[in-house]
């Protein structure tokens, strides 16, 4: 992803602005309550508002594309749950912005991930989310989707989740 729109500074600034203005409507929380069992609802609810909004947007993108796979749609609703630290604290928005900018320079990003805990959490959030989902008793299909959606060449559900995630 050398010079894609996703990696551009203007894209990241828009993403940051949108995060600051994030809102989730009561009807959207009702949707989450209808679609997710209580353990999965907790994965959604522990995320900060901006990640909840993002996950709902990814879900809506999949639905608009005609996706009906229940496991994929449920995974979309909490695919970023791994950005919460081991004490249940969400990743601060400032660290998130720094991590996404540092990703443009992979060597610097990898060094930062070794020394800055928040950047390490971001770098490992897919694997962390998969572990959290497994611990919550989520179906293996969801756990594997979360584990692999940031792979360089994901397959199946993970590829479809990555596509939708990249739209936002």
Q: How far apart are CA 23 and CA 8, in angstroms?
A: 24
Q: Kindly state the average pLDDT of the residues 111-138.
A: 96
Tell me the β-bridge partners of 84: 90
pLDDT at residue 86 tops 90 = no
pLDDT in tens, 31-77: 999 999 999 999 999 999 999 999 999 999 999 999 999 999 999 99
pLDDT at residue 6 tops 60 = no
**How far is the first Cα of the chain from the last one, in angstroms, to the nearest whole number?**
15
Q: How far apart are CA 140 and CA 157, in angstroms?
A: 12
> 138: burial class by Cβ within 10 Å (0-12, 13-18, 19+)?
buried
Q: How far apart are CA 98 and CA 119, in angstroms?
A: 8
pTM here is 0.86
CA distances from 28 to 17, 34, 113 (A): 21, 10, 34
24 backbone dihedrals φ, ψ, rounded to 5°: -125, 125
Contacting residues for 134 by C-beta, under 8 A, at least 6 apart = 143
User: Is residue 125 a contact partner of residue 82, using CB atoms and an 8 Å limit?
Assistant: yes
Q: How far apart are CA 162 and CA 80, in angstroms?
A: 12
Q: Kindly state the average pLDDT of the residues 10-36.
A: 80
Q: How far apart are CA 22 and CA 98, in angstroms?
A: 19
In terms of pLDDT, which residue wins out, 23 or 47? Answer: 47
Q: Return the minimum-mean-pLDDT range out of 88-102, 122-136, 153-167.
A: 88-102
Q: How confident is the model at residue 10 (pLDDT cuts 50, 70, 90)?
A: low
Q: How far apart are CA 25 and CA 49, in angstroms?
A: 11
* Alpha helices (runs of H) in 9-116, residue ranges in sequence order: 9-20, 26-35, 38-45, 49-64, 70-76, 93-102, 106-115
Q: Return the minimum-mean-pLDDT range out of 18-22, 44-48, 84-88.
A: 18-22
């Amino acid at each position: 992803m050398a010079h894609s729109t996703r990696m551009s500074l203007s894209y990241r600034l828009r993403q940051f602005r949108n995060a600051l203005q994030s809102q989730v409507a009561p009807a959207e929380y009702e949707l989450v309550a209808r679609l997710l069992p209580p353990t999965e609802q907790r994965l959604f609810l522990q995320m900060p508002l901006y990640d909840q909004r993002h996950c709902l947007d990814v879900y809506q993108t999949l639905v608009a594309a005609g996706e009906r796979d229940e496991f994929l749609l449920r995974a979309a609703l909490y695919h970023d749950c791994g950005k919460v630290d081991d004490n249940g604290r969400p990743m601060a928005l400032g660290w998130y912005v720094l991590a996404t900018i540092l990703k443009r320079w992979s060597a610097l990003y990898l060094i930062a991930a070794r020394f800055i805990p928040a950047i390490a959490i971001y770098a490992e959030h897919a694997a962390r989310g998969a572990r959290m989902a497994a611990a919550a008793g989520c179906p293996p299909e969801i756990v594997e989707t979360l584990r692999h959606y940031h792979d360089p060449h994901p397959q199946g559900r993970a590829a479809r989740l990555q596509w939708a995630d990249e739209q936002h």
